[in-house]
Structure 1
Amino acid sequence: MKLIYVFFFFCIINQTYGQQKELELIHNCQGRLSGFATVKVIDKRDSSGKQMIGIVQKGALNKPVKVVFNGELTDSLAAFFIDQSANSNPLPLVLILNELFISEAIDNMTEIGRFRLSLRLFIGKQSDQYSEIVAIDSLYTVKGLDVTKKLLRSISEQFCKISQLAAEKQPILDTDAEKYTFKQLHYLDSLEKMKLPMYQTDHPSVGLYKNYKEFKQNTPGVTAELSIEERKNGFRVYIWDEKRKNKTKLPSTGLYAVSDGTTLLRATPLGFFKILKKGGDFYYWRPQVNKSHHSLVPAAYMYGALGGLVYGLIEAASAGNNKWLLQKINYRKGSAAPVSWTTAKEN
């Protein structure tokens, strides 16, 4: 009987690893108003992570698997807004997608699903002039015993709501409102980053950045001399007193970032992580938080002490797998969404 338990657990592992979950979008929005005759989607997500929609947990052991979309995501998202009827809005609509990512975690036997979405909608008027009508930068959360289906379904539900919101909006007639050509919308992020000092410098100011507003302006709220030490498992930051005689270890909570003038670190509850600047954006690697070890309790309950032991051995053996997430910082809000998932971080 014991051998059967062991065989059963390793069969689960074999079936779970390497699998992917496919996202299916559902377009039959209830009570939808008339849409737009012409809709174009500009996908500004990081190119390395466009195929990956997120990470969910699968199987009896709640192992993380990638969520992918097979097909043209831009066309499928545009379908939420397109209306070919005679009542459709003749003005063109442009959707700029900056972030779309879902994730799951377990906390005290409760699954928590998160859906992060960042997008902007622009409506066109005469002479190739587009004005912004909707901006979404939101984090949606669902909880339950098994939230995967509900989490995946929430993507379609939110886009149905956004399409209705867009249909209710009227073109901005204010002559002072910011307007862009369709070509400018493709590099709108670059235009807006030109106004952010941190994105235009290679020399961050020395000190403690308490929030993203201070970070993007490169104006730390606290100016202090820091010492940054790189360790095997991350970074340690020390702050010196005014006479530089004593230094105190700095906690990573309650801050957005720190810099000694050369190295820039993102401060998170998990610790400090080095911020990298690539292609005009800021990124940082952080370890994946996987709380699936709580499944040890039901494993032991369902399959006895041996089941719990086997599960614990499997967890220990796989602790180094799929460990690092590459986070891209949202230049408008300062939040971050994963764009890559790997077993070894890069510098």
Structure 2
Amino acid sequence: MSNTPLKIATILFTSFIPIVIYAQDKVVDYNLIAPLEKIQNSPYQKIHLLDSRINTENFGIIQTGAFNTKAKLIPKVPLSEQLQKILDGMSDTKENGELLLQIRKLAHAELTKVTSEHGFFDFKANLYRKDGETYYKIAEIDTNHFTKGMDVTKKLMRNSSEIITDFIKNNLNNKPVDTLKFTDAEIKDYYTTERERLKLYSANKLIDGAYKDYNQLKGLTPYISEVYIKNDNLSKGFFAKDQNGNEVKLKFKDAYAIVYKGTPYILTDYGQYQLTKENNEFFFTGKIKVQPSASAMTNSTLMFGLVGALITSGGSASDENKYKIDYSDGSFIQIEK
């Protein structure tokens, strides 16, 4: 792969060092906006917050001013206090129930194009009813929001606030989704608890075959059971027979992953890469086609600085990096360059 994007990013990084240094201390406030509509009766009087994100320092990186200076989005009033105020205003009549909002992703990011700005928001959360020392899941959300315009900052934050507050308001009168009970410790270690329920992580042996998407892989339900290689040459890729008996080479569009002789491989636009398991997590080292998202751009800025953020936001091929599979949705989390 050409290293031109890296060269461009390096030039930009060098050119904007004064701005980056300034931006490291620049902070923009984030405030939730109360919903216009109320509900007749709220079963809950209190709401607690558990921030289970990898990066809890900020709520994303946005652009400010005429030069689109990068700034961290950090609320002056803690989000837990804002949520309680929002809940207080949702209904004039309240019972004494308690809620817990567990945030798993909450990130904003902005990207400047030639004629417009693009805003991204990722939000993933669980909502629980607290009953003494026991918790019951009421609802969960995993969503991405895209905003486009000449200046998207205010619109992006207004839309993200609406997504968060509507998630709470629309589920206030919902019953738990199942009878599963969680302790405080289990919720704090939710990733381990949830991950170990998946066959992909709990099975002693993986089932051979091609998996169309991550949902099939995590349940170990391949849609093609017979996959093979030719002349013992793994570098040439994997093959299968179509419904007419014709040989087909499996590509990224055909399968998310392949298990061959018990060994799992991830497929990307650039080839297949073996998955390795470490501490019950799956990793691979390879190249992917990076698409902009709020979480990716925010985490790249956190881990790899401006250069990482610029490469991530480009939507082009990455260099060969190490990635972890996000057990919840199968996305790739870059952990090393």
CA drift of 1:91 comes to 0.9
Instruction: Classify the secondary structure of the residue corresponding to 2:123.
Output: strand
Provide closer, same or farther for how the CA distance between residues 320 and 214 of structure 1 changes in structure 2, counting only shifts above 3 A.
closer
Q: TM-score, normalised by structure 1?
A: 0.63
Provide closer, same or farther for how the CA distance between residues 319 and 128 of structure 1 changes in structure 2, counting only shifts above 3 A.
closer
Pick one of 134, 138, 147 that aligns with 1:133.
Answer: 138
| Alpha carbons 2:33, 2:161 under 8 Å: kept | no
In structure 2, what is the Cα distance between the partners aligned to 1:66 and 1:283? 31
Provide closer, same or farther for how the CA distance between residues 70 and 107 of structure 1 changes in structure 2, counting only shifts above 3 A.
closer
In structure 1, what is the Cα distance between the partners aligned to 2:32 and 2:75? 16
| Alpha carbons 1:27, 1:79 under 8 Å: kept | no
In structure 1, what is the Cα distance between the partners aligned to 2:76 and 2:279? 26
Query: Where does structure 1 lack aligned partners over 5 or more consecutive residues?
Result: 1-8, 230-235, 291-317
CA drift of 1:87 comes to 3.7
AA of the residue aligned to 1:257 = A
| Alpha carbons 1:25, 1:155 under 8 Å: kept | no
Q: For residue 336 of structure 1, what is the aligned residue in structure 2?
A: 331
Q: For residue 299 of structure 2, what is the aligned residue in structure 1?
A: none
Pick one of 148, 151, 161 that aligns with 1:143.
Answer: 148
| Alpha carbons 1:255, 1:267 under 8 Å: kept | yes
| Alpha carbons 1:133, 1:169 under 8 Å: kept | no
Q: For residue 186 of structure 2, what is the aligned residue in structure 1?
A: 184
Structure 1, residues 257-314: CA drift from partner, whole Å, max 9, x if none? 2343565444345765665545544456756557xxxxxxxxxxxxxxxxxxxxxxxx
CA drift of 1:160 comes to 2.1
Structure 1, residues 26-47: CA drift from partner, whole Å, max 9, x if none? 134143646843322223323x
Structure showing greater radius of gyration is: 1
CA drift of 1:95 comes to 1.4
Q: For residue 211 of structure 1, what is the aligned residue in structure 2?
A: 213
After TM superposition, list the pairs within 5 Å mapping 1:134-283 onto structure 2.
134-166=139-171, 168-172=172-176, 177-201=179-203, 204-223=206-225, 224-226=227-229, 228-229=234-235, 237-239=237-239, 250-261=250-261, 264-269=264-269, 275=275, 277-282=277-282
AA of the residue aligned to 1:128 = E
| Alpha carbons 1:40, 1:94 under 8 Å: kept | yes
Pick one of 20, 41, 51 that aligns with 2:49.
Answer: 41
Say what the alpha-carbon RMSD is for the aligned residues.
4.5
Matched, 1:116 2:122: yes
AA of the residue aligned to 1:216 = K
Q: For residue 299 of structure 1, what is the aligned residue in structure 2?
A: none
Query: Where does structure 2 lack aligned partners over 5 or more consecutive residues?
Result: 1-11, 293-306, 313-317
CA drift of 1:161 comes to 1.7
Instruction: Classify the secondary structure of the residue corresponding to 1:331.
Output: coil
CA drift of 1:129 comes to 3.6
AA of the residue aligned to 2:148 = K
- Count residues with an aligned counterpart: 290
CA drift of 1:159 comes to 1.7
In structure 1, what is the Cα distance between the partners aligned to 2:151 and 2:160? 17
| Alpha carbons 2:31, 2:75 under 8 Å: kept | no
In structure 1, what is the Cα distance between the partners aligned to 2:271 and 2:81? 38
AA of the residue aligned to 2:218 = K
In structure 1, what is the Cα distance between the partners aligned to 2:84 and 2:92? 17
CA drift of 1:98 comes to 1.8
Matched, 1:13 2:16: yes
Q: For residue 26 of structure 1, what is the aligned residue in structure 2?
A: 31
Which is further off, 14-23 or 178-187?
14-23
| Alpha carbons 1:36, 1:83 under 8 Å: kept | no
| Alpha carbons 1:228, 1:260 under 8 Å: kept | no
Provide closer, same or farther for how the CA distance between residues 289 and 170 of structure 1 changes in structure 2, counting only shifts above 3 A.
closer
Pick one of 98, 102, 105 that aligns with 1:92.
Answer: 98
Instruction: Classify the secondary structure of the residue corresponding to 2:96.
Output: coil
In structure 1, what is the Cα distance between the partners aligned to 2:197 and 2:113? 40
In structure 2, what is the Cα distance between the partners aligned to 1:211 and 1:39? 36
In structure 2, what is the Cα distance between the partners aligned to 1:186 and 1:117? 18
Structure 1, residues 28-72: CA drift from partner, whole Å, max 9, x if none? 4143646843322223323xx333544556788879x57453779
| Alpha carbons 2:62, 2:153 under 8 Å: kept | yes
In structure 1, what is the Cα distance between the partners aligned to 2:271 and 2:82? 36
